[in-house]
């Protein structure tokens, strides 16, 4: 008999793939109903009916939508994302580079934000309703409430223009040293950390407080354990599932939702790349980006699900 955990995991992965397929249909349909068409926006003001017709023919825009969907999907399954309509270059290498940049930025932000959020959450619980708790909540809620671009401009104004501690531009390029890269992305990392910290911190706090009502916590207190040990050793492991879920949502956000931050700091990531091609109606690139974003989102949520399953002893040790 198959272990129920393996069965559950297999189920989740299959569901994830199905979801990805559904997302691909949505992306394809979505890009078809954008106003204007790619030929029109490539030619811009200079479009005449003949040149438009020629270009449409050349780009294969006259084929039926269903045919185009399946030929696109077939290509994707073979790892071929096609060529960009606007400059004729293959999409995969360009996209890969941008994706790596985005992942690098997201990883740097996550490395700081996740532990920080959890520690701040633990501290909040320890000093519940006293000034450290209130201060942490006030600050993180304030930073999460300010729009990111404004947060970006504020840190640029103080840290780049006034005090010149960090560069206001985060342009990274091939052949740049690791240290230089870290220095370049200092400001966007600060903004991203501030943007996601509040959510994770509050969730950690709420989840642990929920567990703190349990009888076994009372037992631990009666045993005479120190408050912080109770929170970290006894409460946190049982609050992992909701915390992991919210952490994953924020990680996904760090990858797919940072367009504005990338624009403000001129960071060559996926967001900027996507925006450029949306405005030019470069459909294959938009579809490829959409698919990658969907994949990241679904993948991270899958991981969250798996962690929640594995964190549940009743599932790990079936009778």
Partner 1 sequence: MKDDLAKLIELIDNGGLNRRAFLGRTAAFGLTAALGTSLLPGAARADEPKKGGVLKLGLGGGESTDAIDPGLADGPVSFNVNRQWGDTIVNVAPDMSVEPRLAESFESNEDSTVWTFKIRKGVKFHDGSEMTPEDVAATFKRHSDQNAKSGAYGIMQGISDIKVDGDNVVMTMTSGNADLPYLLADYHLVVQPGGGVDDPNKGIGTGPYKIASAEPGVRYVFEKNADDWDTTRGHYDSVEFLVINDTTARTAALQSGQVHMINRVDPKVAKLLSRAPGVVVTNASGRGHYVFIMHCNTAPFDNNDLRLALKYAINRQEMVDKILDGYGSVGNDIPINKSYPLFDESLPQREFSIEKAAEHYKASGHDGSPIELIVADGAFPGAVDAAALFQATAKQAGIPLEIKRVPDDGYWSDVWNVKPFCASYWGGRPVQDQMYSTAYLSTADWNDTKFFNKEFDDLVLAGRAETDQEKRKEIYSKCAHILWEQGGVICPMFNDFIDAHAEAVAGWIEDSNLELMNGFATAKTWFA
Query: Shortest gap between Cβ of 258 and partner 1 (angstroms)?
Result: 14
Find all residues with CB under 8 Å of 204, minimum gap 6, and list them: 117, 118, 120, 121, 122, 124, 239, 243, 246
Closest of 70, 76, 69, 87 to residue 30, by C-alpha: 69
Interface pick for partner 1 out of 53, 65, 138, 266 (rule CB under 8 A): 266
Of 48-56, 107-115, 132-140, 213-221, the window that binds partner 1 (rule: CB under 8 A) is 48-56
> Binding of partner 1 at residue 57 (CB under 8 A)?
no
> Binding of partner 1 at residue 276 (CB under 8 A)?
yes
Binding letters toward partner 1, positions 89-128, x by CB under 8 A? -----x----------------------------------
For 83, phi and psi rounded to 5 degrees? -110, 150
Which of positions 72-91 make contact with partner 1 (CB under 8 A)? 84, 86-87
Find all residues with CB under 8 Å of 289, minimum gap 6, and list them: 95, 270, 273, 274, 277
What residue has token string 């932000």?
Answer: 109
Interface pick for partner 1 out of 6, 33, 35, 145 (rule CB under 8 A): 35
Angstrom distance (rounded) from CA 191 to CA 166: 13
Distances (CA, A) of 29 to 65, 273, 279: 9, 21, 17
Interface pick for partner 1 out of 5, 40, 107, 311 (rule CB under 8 A): 40
Angstrom distance (rounded) from CA 109 to CA 210: 28
> Binding of partner 1 at residue 192 (CB under 8 A)?
no
Tell me how crowded residue 284 is: count the other CB atoms within 10 A of its CB.
21
Of 9-17, 30-38, 132-140, 293-301, the window that binds partner 1 (rule: CB under 8 A) is 30-38
Of 107-115, 139-147, 159-167, 251-259, the window that binds partner 1 (rule: CB under 8 A) is 159-167
Identify the helix (H) or strand (E) that includes residue 215.
Answer: helix 215-223
**Sites of contact with partner 1 (CB under 8 A):** 34-36, 40-41, 43-48, 51, 54, 84, 86-87, 94, 153, 156-157, 160-161, 164, 167-169, 171, 173-174, 263-266, 268, 272-273, 276-277, 279-280, 282
């Amino acid at each position: 008999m198959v272990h129920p955990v393996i069965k559950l995991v297999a189920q989740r992965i299959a569901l994830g793939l199905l979801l990805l397929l559904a997302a691909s249909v949505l992306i394809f349909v979505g890009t078809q109903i954008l106003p204007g068409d790619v030929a029109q926006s490539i030619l811009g003001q200079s479009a005449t009916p003949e040149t438009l017709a020629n270009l449409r023919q050349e780009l294969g825009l006259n084929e039926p939508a269903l045919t185009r969907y399946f030929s696109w999907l077939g290509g994707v399954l073979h790892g071929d994302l096609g060529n960009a309509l606007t400059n004729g270059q293959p999409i995969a290498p360009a996209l890969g580079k941008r994706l790596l940049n985005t992942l690098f930025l997201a990883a740097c932000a996550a490395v700081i934000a996740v532990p920080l959020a959890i520690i701040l959450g633990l501290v909040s619980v320890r000093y519940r309703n006293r000034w450290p708790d209130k201060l942490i909540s006030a600050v993180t809620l304030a930073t999460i409430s300010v729009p990111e671009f404004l947060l970006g401009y504020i840190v640029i104004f103080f840290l780049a223009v006034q005090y010149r501690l960090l560069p206001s531009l985060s342009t990274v390029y091939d052949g740049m040293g690791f240290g230089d890269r870290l220095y370049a992305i200092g400001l966007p990392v600060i903004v991203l950390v501030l943007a996601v910290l509040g959510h994770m911190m509050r969730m950690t706090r709420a989840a642990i407080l929920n567990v703190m009502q349990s009888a076994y916590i009372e037992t631990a207190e009666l045993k005479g354990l120190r408050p912080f040990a109770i929170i970290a050793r006894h409460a946190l492991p049982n609050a992992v599932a909701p915390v992991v879920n919210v952490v994953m949502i924020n990680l996904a956000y760090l990858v797919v939702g940072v367009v504005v931050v990338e624009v403000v700091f001129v960071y060559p990531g996926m967001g900027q790349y996507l925006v450029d091609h949306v405005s030019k109606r470069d459909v294959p690139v938009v579809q490829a980006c959409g698919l990658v974003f969907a994949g990241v989102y679904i993948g991270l949520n899958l991981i969250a699900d798996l962690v929640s399953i594995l964190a549940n002893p009743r599932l790990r040790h079936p009778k």
